[in-house]
């Protein structure tokens, strides 16, 4: 299995510990362009595209394997094994925060710490739990996805898939940003928004930094607070930001909070 | 842009702050959504969308605007003041001011086109569902075919095994039968009471029949699983061979009246034993199904370098339906359970023997004329 090809893995920076950046629903690793450069001086930085997104190998998209988040968690562990050096800190946005939690549960101890940006263990309201959404909101989203291929078409596919490792890679990544093959987008939307990972996060023992936007429709403050309450070893940090992507719209505030959380591993590098 | 041009533009226009807060809208915008300028300014653009649109805005639109500085042709459902959905196409552009970033948004009403696109989408979904159904049917068909093929192979193996079994058993039956005949011969040489002679006669006839059945079975298996029936031809007097066979058959079928006619003259090159076997099987068949009160007529003919032997009986006509498969193994002329019949291989073997000589067998049957089996063999093989 060629992981580099499958997940369009990119490695940069240098350090004793490794930060693995895992993007969320809708986009690709280009979303880290604003935040990741803050860490390449002190950490080894690994970024990748989830299978089905960005420049990943669409041929590898197996409907059954990626029918649950476990399929993605399995891939993440493979990438960690192949590319990480030293302690591993997972930086996961949105659904990838939960993929990280699942990867941790599959291989306890392998991930030293989690940075969760806009995480939500469950999007749909439940008895005694506010996720912010109702079941038909998700159907409405699927409908909107159906109406918007965002420039995706079969003619576009070869350009978007490109060839990982080529110089024009970063151009291709930004070019293909948020463009996903429609069938895959539908399935990933369903898997993301209908999953329930409340049980999985409760069992996490590694340190967790929760970066919560002050105004986020997808992951509201109540959800961030809920997570901080149930995850025992968690640090809660409220970022003054509107929207679900503080790493894009408020990268400096995110980087500042992360630097202090990551200090123990950055010190290890200085030794 | 002059205010009147801004307000009367043929599309809804808005300027928002980076977080989506509406700073300015034109009259078209307020018309379409039913809100006043005062109500709209200060609200966030994304809050005017349906929930699905808001999620999409957060996960796709906002990141794209930040990354590319623009988006085009995004279809969204906005919600009118009265709760009705208004479908729009959105183009957006990022604009850097001295101290801030704003987004210029242009919205085009697309409700009718949206209906058309939904119809296309539904048609596509239907086509995909049908395709999936077709594919599933094809898969099921392939599976059924594979299963059938496998079942056929299994039944062929079983048939082969059964035929081999028949070959082995028939062969093994020959030895005890020979011992019975030798013992009965030996007993027949001494002084016997009439009753004992009668019983020995039964033993002789029964073992003769058993031997013929075994011979039939062996020939059958030879034809089916072996290398075919082997013949050894030699020049012979055809009429004499038939005559000899009829003589022997009179002993074997004492209750039947066998009449032999000859036509034509000459020699032929045939396997004498096999010719006798052919006649034997046909006579046995006539004895079983013919009218026991009337003659069984055997005619041997030589003409045009061909030999023919015809066996005729006055039996009931063979039903039309049975004629076609009469020479197949295990086929009987009638369903009567006659104790004189063998296992139903007689006519099959006749045909095989005729074929191996380069000839064939034919049958004609009617209530008026009776039944005639005619075997034609080339005089020289």
Q: Which of A148, A176, A192 to mutate to test the interface with B (most CBs of B within 10 A)?
A: A148
ipTM: 0.87
Sequence-distant (≥ 6) Cβ neighbours of residue B36 within 8 angstroms: B30
Give the count of alpha carbons within 13 A of A197, CB side only: 30
**C-alpha closest to that of A112 among A120, A121, A95, A100:** A100
Between A30, A146, A147, which is nearest B67 by CB? A30
Q: How far is B102 from chain A (nearest CA, A)?
A: 14
User: 3-state DSSP call for residue A184?
Assistant: helix
Residue A186 has pLDDT above 70, yes or no: yes
Q: What pLDDT does A267 receive?
A: 57
Judge: A144–B52 Cβ closer than 8 Å, yes or no. yes
Judge: B50–A140 Cβ closer than 8 Å, yes or no. yes
Q: What pLDDT does B349 receive?
A: 87
A219 burial (CB, 10 Å; 0-12 / 13-18 / 19+) is buried
- Please, what are the domains in chain A? 3-270 (3.40.50.1820)
Take residue A36 and report the two structure tokens written for it: 């990741």
Q: What pLDDT does A116 receive?
A: 98
Judge: B75–A144 Cβ closer than 8 Å, yes or no. yes
Quickly tell me which residue has 């004895």 as its tokens: B287
Quickly tell me which residue has 């970033």 as its tokens: B101
B63 CB neighbours in chain A (<8 A) are 26-27, 31, 177-178, 245, 248
Q: How far is B42 from chain A (nearest CA, A)?
A: 14
Question: Consecutive sets of 10 residues in chain B, 381 residues long: mean pLDDT of each?
Answer: 84 94 95 94 95 91 88 90 93 93 94 87 91 95 96 90 81 85 89 91 86 82 76 89 90 87 87 89 88 91 89 89 81 53 75 90 90 90 58
**C-alpha closest to that of B219 among B309, B325, B352, B342:** B352
Q: What pLDDT does B160 receive?
A: 83
Binned at pLDDT 50, 70 and 90, residue A29 comes out as very high
Question: Residue B353 — φ and ψ, nearest 5°?
Answer: -65, -40
A9 touches chain B (CB under 8 A): no
Q: What is the CATH number of domain B3-109?
A: 3.30.450.20
For chain B, the residue count is 381
Specify which of A66-75, A181-190, B72-81 reaches the highest per-range mean pLDDT. Answer: A66-75
Q: DSSP class of residue B82?
A: T
Q: How far is B60 from chain A (nearest CA, A)?
A: 6
Sequence-distant (≥ 6) Cβ neighbours of residue A237 within 8 angstroms: A209, A210, A211, A212, A257, A261
Q: What pLDDT does A156 receive?
A: 45
Judge: B54–A217 Cβ closer than 8 Å, yes or no. yes
B60 touches chain A (CB under 8 A): yes
Residue A165 has pLDDT above 70, yes or no: no
Inter-chain Cβ pairs, chain A and chain B, closer than 8 A: 95
Between A139, A146, A218, which is nearest B58 by CB? A218
Sequence-distant (≥ 6) Cβ neighbours of residue B104 within 8 angstroms: B13, B14, B15, B92, B93, B95
Q: What pLDDT does B342 receive?
A: 54
- For chain A, give the percent of residues with pLDDT over 90: 76
Provide mean pLDDT across the span A99-115: 96
Active-site annotation of A, residues: 94, 216, 244
Strands (E), B165-305: 234-237, 258-263, 267-270, 296-303
The Cα-based distances of B26 to A256, B22, B47, B124, B288 in angstroms read 40, 11, 18, 37, 110
Q: With respect to CATH, is domain B117-224 assigned 3.50.50?
A: no
Comparing A164 with A66, the larger pLDDT belongs to: A66
Give domain limits for chain B.
3-109, 117-224, 234-378
Residue A158 has pLDDT above 60, yes or no: no
Question: Residue B329 — φ and ψ, nearest 5°?
Answer: -60, 150
Residue A161 has pLDDT above 50, yes or no: no
Tell me how far apart the alpha carbons of residues B40 and B22 are, in angstroms, rounded to a whole number: 7
Judge: B20–A249 Cβ closer than 8 Å, yes or no. no
Comparing A77 with A178, the larger pLDDT belongs to: A77
Reported CATH class of domain B234-378: alpha beta
Between A33, A137, A216, which is nearest B52 by CB? A137
Residue A241 has pLDDT above 50, yes or no: yes
Q: What pLDDT does B1 receive?
A: 63
Give the count of beta carbons closer than 10 Å to the beta carbon of residue B330: 10
**C-alpha closest to that of A47 among A32, A66, A26:** A32
Q: How far is A26 from chain B (nearest CA, A)?
A: 5
Helix ranges (DSSP H) in chain A: 3-7, 69-83, 95-106, 135-147, 157-161, 169-175, 182-194, 198-202, 221-230, 246-249, 251-270
Comparing A94 with B217, the larger pLDDT belongs to: A94
DSSP of B85-108: EEEEEEEEEEEE-SS-EEEEEEEE
């Amino acid at each position: 299995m060629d992981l580099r090809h499958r997940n369009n893995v990119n490695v940069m920076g240098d350090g004793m510990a490794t930060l693995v950046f895992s993007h969320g629903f809708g986009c690709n690793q280009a979303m880290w362009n604003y935040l990741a450069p803050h860490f390449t001086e002190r950490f080894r930085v690994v970024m990748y595209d989830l299978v089905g997104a960005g420049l990943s190998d669409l041929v590898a998209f197996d409907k059954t394997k990626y029918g649950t988040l476990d399929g993605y968690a399995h891939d993440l562990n493979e990438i960690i094994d192949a590319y990480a050096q030293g302690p591993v800190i997972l930086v996961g946005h949105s659904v990838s925060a939960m993929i990280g939690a699942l990867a941790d549960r599959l291989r306890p101890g392998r991930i030293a710490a989690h940075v969760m940006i806009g995480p939500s263990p469950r999007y749909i309201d439940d008895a005694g739990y506010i996720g912010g959404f109702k079941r038909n909101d998700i159907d409405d989203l699927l409908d909107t996805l159906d109406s918007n291929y965002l420039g995706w078409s079969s003619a576009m596919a070869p350009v978007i898939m490109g060839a990982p490792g080529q110089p024009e890679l970063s151009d291709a990544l930004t070019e293909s940003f948020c463009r996903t093959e429609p069938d895959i987008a539908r399935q990933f939307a369903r898997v993301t928004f209908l999953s329930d990972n409340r049980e999985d996060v409760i069992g996490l023992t590694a340190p967790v930094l929760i970066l919560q936007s002050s105004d986020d429709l997808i992951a509201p403050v109540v959800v961030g607070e809920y997570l901080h309450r149930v995850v025992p070893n968690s640090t809660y940090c409220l970022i003054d930001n509107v929207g679900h992507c503080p790493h894009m719209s408020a990268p400096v505030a995110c980087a500042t909070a992360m630097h202090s959380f990551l200090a123990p591993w950055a010190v290890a590098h200085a030794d | 842009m002059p205010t009147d041009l801004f307000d009367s533009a043929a599309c809804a226009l808005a300027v928002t702050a980076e977080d989506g807060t509406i700073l300015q809208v034109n009259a078209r915008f307020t018309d379409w959504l039913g809100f006043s300028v005062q109500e709209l300014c200060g609200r966030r653009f994304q809050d005017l969308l349906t929930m699905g649109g808001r999620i999409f805005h957060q996960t796709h639109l906002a990141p794209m605007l930040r990354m590319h500085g623009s988006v085009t042709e995004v279809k969204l459902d906005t919600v009118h003041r009265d709760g009705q959905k208004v479908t729009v196409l959105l183009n957006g552009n990022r604009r850097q001011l001295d101290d801030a970033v704003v987004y210029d948004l242009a919205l085009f009403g697309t409700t009718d086109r949206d209906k058309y696109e939904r119809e296309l989408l539904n048609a596509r979904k239907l086509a995909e569902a049908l395709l999936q159904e077709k594919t599933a049917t094809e898969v099921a068909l392939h599976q059924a075919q594979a299963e059938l093929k496998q079942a056929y192979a299994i039944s062929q193996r079983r048939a082969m095994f059964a035929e081999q079994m028949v070959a082995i058993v028939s062969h093994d039956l020959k030895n005890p039968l020979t011992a019975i005949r030798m013992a009965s011969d030996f007993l027949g040489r001494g002084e016997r009471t009439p009753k004992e002679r009668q019983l020995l006669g039964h033993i002789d006839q029964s073992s003769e029949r058993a031997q013929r059945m075994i011979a039939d079975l062996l020939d059958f298996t030879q034809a089916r699983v072996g290398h075919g029936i082997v013949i050894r031809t030699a020049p012979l007097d055809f009429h004499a061979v038939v005559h000899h066979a009829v003589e022997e058959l009179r002993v074997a079928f004492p209750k039947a009246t066998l009449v032999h006619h000859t036509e034509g003259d000459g020699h032929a090159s045939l396997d004498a034993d096999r010719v006798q076997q052919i006649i034997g099987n046909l006579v046995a068949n006539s004895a079983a199904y013919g009218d026991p009160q009337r003659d069984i007529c055997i005619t041997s003919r030589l003409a045009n370098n061909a030999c023919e032997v015809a066996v005729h009986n006055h039996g009931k006509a063979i039903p039309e339906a049975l004629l076609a498969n009469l020479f197949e193994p295990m086929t009987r002329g009638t369903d009567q359970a006659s104790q004189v019949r063998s296992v139903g291989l007689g006519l099959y073997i006749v045909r095989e023997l005729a074929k191996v000589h380069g000839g064939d067998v034919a049958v004609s049957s009617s209530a008026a004329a009776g039944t005639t089996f005619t075997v034609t063999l080339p005089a020289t093989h």
